[in-house]
């Protein structure tokens, strides 16, 4: 039997090459080896304020990005027989996620959520006093997402590792208290692409929510924007193209080059021996454009209607899986199902 993978992206902000290299590119590679379930996690997105109309648009946009990147989910197969994978669906269309979350909340500790780096980062500016409870509690919802489907492998970028650890801890705790129920999931984090850094600050990860658009190359950026952003990307002192830890900006750009060209950092260093930043950056922009152009063509060819159909079908396919696990959990804790 194939093992199961589950992962998701929040429909907040614009997806960038960090999301692609850290997560989606690996989903595409793993989708046939596993029973694959990929979710648009809109309930996670509302842990910070969202404009409702934009959220709806972004939800469809993310699903189109999954499909354009090569996730081969199809509609029209929900009824009858075993579900066919991969599946993509919208989190809020499967209420079992929040139901399981509630139960997991009762075995989660304040102290383990207080340790979460992402919560600390997101409340750094405004402080945690005024932060939404949902933002604090969000890793428990993520644990529910994962555990509901008997997930064994969770392909994510490095920043999500701590959250997957929590899912493991909660699964173990529940199993201990109520008997074997959950599979203990593992994060799948690939060295390359696991942490794409900001183009304007190589000390921090590239982020959907960074204020400056010069922080990231978005998957839907046009050619001119990509060229401009790469040109503006910060670099280190010196003029040689070398891959080294004491040149974090250049290291990040070489990593991006490597990921989109299937060349190793060493090969790239060699290619640019005796050349400067100008040549390197110009060609890096073209390498990214070479990847994004066909991707964007596939994206544009998808209609909202067909994507919504695939998502609806996906929700219908995952619901019986989710309900079965939730019923088991409810029974174990003493609910009448």
Catalytically active residues are: 122, 205, 208
Can you tell me which of 35, 61, 96, 145 binds ligand TYM, judged by CB under 6 A?
Answer: 145
**In a 3-state reduction of DSSP, which class is residue 330?**
helix
Q: Does 196 bind ligand TYM (CB under 6 A)?
A: yes
- Which of these segments, 5-13, 104-112, 122-130, 312-320, binds ligand TYM (CB under 6 A)? 5-13
Q: Does 146 bind ligand TYM (CB under 6 A)?
A: yes
- Which of these segments, 81-89, 102-110, 188-196, 274-282, binds ligand TYM (CB under 6 A)? 188-196
Q: Does 47 bind ligand TYM (CB under 6 A)?
A: no
Residue nearest to ligand TYM (CB): 22
- Specify the residue, 19 or 296, whose C-beta has the smaller distance to ligand TYM: 19
Site for ligand TYM in 295-314 (CB under 6 A): none
- Phi and psi angles of residue 178, each rounded to the nearest 5 degrees, phi first: -120, 0
- Which of these segments, 98-106, 155-163, 217-225, 320-328, binds ligand TYM (CB under 6 A)? 155-163
Residues 86 and 74: their CA atoms lie apart, in Å, by 8
Of 211, 212, 206, nearest to 194 by C-alpha is 206
- Other residues' Cβ atoms within 10 Å of the Cβ of residue 177: 11
DSSP label of 83: P
Q: Does 119 bind ligand TYM (CB under 6 A)?
A: no
**In a 3-state reduction of DSSP, which class is residue 270?**
helix
Can you tell me which of 22, 86, 202, 314 binds ligand TYM, judged by CB under 6 A?
Answer: 22
- Phi and psi angles of residue 83, each rounded to the nearest 5 degrees, phi first: -70, 150
Residues 184 and 164: their CA atoms lie apart, in Å, by 10
Binding residues for ligand TYM, total number by CB under 6 A:
27
Residue listed under structure tokens 């960074």: 210
- Shortest Å, Cβ 5 to ligand TYM: 9
In whole angstroms, what separates CA 231 from the centre of its chain?
27
- Specify the residue, 108 or 272, whose C-beta has the smaller distance to ligand TYM: 108
Q: Does 136 bind ligand TYM (CB under 6 A)?
A: no
Q: Does 26 bind ligand TYM (CB under 6 A)?
A: no
| Cβ within 8 Å of residue 131, ≥6 positions away | 119, 122, 123
Helix/strand/coil percent split, the chain, to 5: 55, 10, 35
| Residues that bind ligand TYM in the complex, under the rule CB under 6 A | 6-10, 18-19, 21-23, 41, 44, 142, 145-146, 154, 156-157, 159-160, 163, 193-196, 205-206
């Amino acid at each position: 039997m194939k093992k199961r993978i589950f992962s998701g992206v929040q429909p907040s902000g614009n997806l960038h090459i960090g999301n692609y290299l850290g997560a989606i590119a690996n989903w595409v590679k793993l989708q046939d080896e596993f029973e694959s379930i990929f979710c648009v996690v809109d309930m996670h997105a509302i842990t910070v304020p969202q404009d409702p109309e934009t959220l709806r648009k972004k939800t469809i946009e993310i699903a189109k990005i999954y499909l354009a990147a090569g996730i081969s989910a199809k509609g029209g197969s929900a009824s009858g027989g075993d579900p066919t994978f991969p599946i993509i669906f919208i989190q809020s269309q499967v209420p079992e996620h929040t139901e399981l979350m509630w139960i997991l909340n009762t075995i989660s500790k304040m102290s383990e959520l207080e340790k979460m780096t992402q919560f600390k980062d997101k409340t750094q500016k405004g402080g945690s006093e005024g932060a939404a409870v949902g933002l604090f509690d969000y890793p428990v919802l993520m644990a529910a997402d994962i555990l509901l489907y008997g997930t064994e492998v969770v392909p994510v970028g490095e920043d999500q590792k701590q959250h997957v650890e929590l899912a493991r801890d909660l699964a173990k705790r529940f199993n201990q208290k109520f008997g074997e129920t959950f599979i203990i999931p593992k994060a799948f984090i690939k060295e390359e692409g696991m942490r794409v850094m900001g183009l304007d600050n190589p000390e921090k990860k590239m982020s959907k929510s960074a204020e400056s658009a010069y922080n990231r190359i978005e998957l839907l950026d046009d050619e001119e924007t990509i060229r401009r952003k790469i040109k503006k990307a910060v670099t280190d002192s010196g003029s040689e193209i070398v891959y080294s830890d004491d040149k974090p900006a250049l290291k990040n750009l070489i990593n991006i080059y490597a990921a989109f060209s299937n060349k190793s950092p060493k090969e790239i260093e060699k290619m640019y021996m005796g050349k400067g930043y100008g040549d390197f950056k110009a060609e890096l922009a073209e390498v990214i454009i070479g990847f994004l152009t066909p991707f964007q063509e596939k994206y544009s060819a998808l209609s909202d209607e067909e994507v919504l159909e695939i998502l609806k079908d996906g929700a219908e396919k995952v619901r019986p899986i989710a309900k079965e696990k939730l019923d088991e959990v409810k029974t174990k804790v003493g609910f009448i199902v």
